[in-house]
Amino acid sequence: MAKILSVISVCGKTGGTTIKLKKLVEESIHDHYVYFALYDKDIIKDYPENKKWFASDKVKVFEGFYGRNFIQYSMDIIKIAKENQIDVIHFYFNFENTFAPLVKLFYPKATLIRSIVGYDEPLSKARSFVLNQVLKPVDHVIFISNYIKKLYINDYKSLEKKPSTIIYNAGIQVTDNISNPVDRTDLVSVSGLCQRKNLGVLVKAMEQVVDKFPDQKLYIVGDGPSRKEIETLIEELDLKNNVILVGYSTKITEYLNKCKIYVHPADTEGFGIAVTEAMYMKSPAIVSNAGALPELVSQDKTGLIVDPYDPNEWAQQIIFLLEHEDIRLAMANESHERATSVFPLEAFINNHDDLYSKSNQ
């Protein structure tokens, strides 16, 4: 059994990475310690409440609030590692990865692991240089998809020959109380309202869908900086009764249990956890032929893969599934089977545990 210290710069009940980390430390076979390196004022403000939510008998929690003083955070981590004889130190985001050189220098016995859980916009040359350097002491990298692996290795040459593992994300906002797909009525997309989610193409496609199915509704669950732009487009196309912007919601499973077809037009998705959650809930998915999404959906078996920027193709494929109930229902069942076999939480935890065990040999 290994002793694992996870280092992460976020903490919140709505953050997917923190939620998965909580599940991991609670169900892992190893001993876990977590260090929250918090510099964001809003995250720090909510931390006392979120720490209570995160805490359990299975994990010992530490925290530091040193702004962007990476030296002070590094000293904390080295002290915790020495006092607890930590075997593996696991970093999650770029900020905490900057601690790696000092940690490796003063506590060389630990295996350093970095999870790369998404792809940021291209960094400046200076920041890219720094990230490339701080990745060098890392012993092993976890990527959440082959797409993300390809992007990072292309941008950061220090990763080219470094050992790595693909560990897919697991759906967390799901329930085994799944409704009958026959009875469902809605189109659903769970998505932040921002440019890279590409929701405009979906709204434009709905204009054609509504021509054929006047009562059809699309629920977009999420919020973000593009909300006003999307609201304007909905008004221009006279779709106010058909496209509903729900905003943030904690009732994701309720929407998925009414979801006849799940639609996800993002064009740079690093994984697409919302897609796998919809699949688990027996919704066939129509997704963009972009980012990691083609890794999730089996074309013509669990869903359809389309041009991310062609509203006509989106409309045609939505209409196709609305008109062909037998195909939609077959895809619904296949989607659930794929989600439970390829993207289950158990696999996410077991794959991490296996890596931790090998790192400790």
Q: What's the pLDDT score for residue 59?
A: 94
Q: What's the mean pLDDT in 258-281? A: 95
pLDDT in tens, 164-197: 999 999 887 789 999 999 999 999 999 989 888 9
Q: What's the mean pLDDT in 298-319? A: 98
Q: What's the pLDDT score for residue 120?
A: 65
Residue 68's CB is within 10 A of a number of other CB atoms, namely 10
Q: What's the pLDDT score for residue 360?
A: 80
- 206 confidence band (pLDDT: 50, 70, 90): very high
Q: What's the pLDDT score for residue 107?
A: 98
User: CA 111 to CA 109: how far, in whole Å?
Assistant: 7
Topology at the third CATH level for domain 181-342: Rossmann fold (3.40.50)
Query: Residue 328: is its pLDDT beyond 90?
Result: yes
pTM, full prediction = 0.88
**CA atoms lying within 13 Å on the CB side of residue 216:** 23
User: CA 358 to CA 361: how far, in whole Å?
Assistant: 5
Contact predicate 71/102, CB 8 Å: yes
pLDDT in tens, 3-37: 999 999 999 876 678 889 999 999 999 999 999 99
Q: What's the mean pLDDT in 94-104? A: 96
What is the three-class DSSP state of 8? strand
Note the CATH number of domain 3-169+344-359: 3.40.50.2000
Contact predicate 34/21, CB 8 Å: yes
CATH fold match for the domains 3-169+344-359 and 181-342:
yes
Q: What's the pLDDT score for residue 121?
A: 67
Contact predicate 56/32, CB 8 Å: no
Amino acid at 139: D
Query: What are the extents of the domains in the chain?
Result: 3-169+344-359, 181-342
